Amino acid sequence: MDLVYGPAFINDNWHHAVEGSIEYVKQSIERNITSGVYTKEGKPVSGILLVGGGVMGLLYTDKAYRNKNYGKLAMQNLMKTLTLKGFAPCSAVEIFNEASIKFHAKIGMQKCSTVDYIRYFGPATLK
C-alpha cells in the first residue's frame, strides 16, 4: 500500500478504527510489507497490511470492486512475498465473520488456533 492513499483507504473502512488509529495504519504501511491493487489512476481498490505480531490484517476491498478477486489477489501477493522472505503467512479472523472465514479457506488457509486479544483504550478508560 502506498502512503498517499493507503492509510485513509484502510483506516476509513476499518471497523476497529478509533481516533488516532490512522497513525497506526500509516506506521504499519511504512514499517511492514503490504499489498494493494490499484486503478490505472493510482487509487486503491483493495489492500492488506502486515500488522503487529507479523499477522496479515485489515484487508479491505472497495465495495464497487468486490467479487472481482482483487482481495484474493492482494492477499495472495502478500502471502507470496512473506513466504519468499522466510515468513509463515498467518491472518486473524473474528470468529463470527463467516464471510472472512470462507474467504481464507478458499485461498488455502487453515485455522490453526483461537486467540483472544486484550486492548488498552488509553487513560480515559482508567478509573
pLDDT tens across 85-121, in order? 999 999 988 889 999 999 999 999 999 988 887 877 7
Q: What is the pTM of this model?
A: 0.86
Task: Give the three-state DSSP class for 77.
Answer: helix
Q: Which of 34-48, 55-69, 109-123 has the lowest mean pLDDT?
A: 109-123
> How many helices (DSSP H) and strands (DSSP E) are in the chain?
4, 3
Domains of the chain: 6-125 (3.40.630.30)
Which single residue is written with the C-alpha cell 497506526?
24
**How far apart are alpha carbons 88 and 42 in whole angstroms?**
30
CB 46 within 8 A of CB 36: yes
Q: Which of these, 38, 33, 28, 34, lies nearest to 5 by C-alpha position?
A: 38
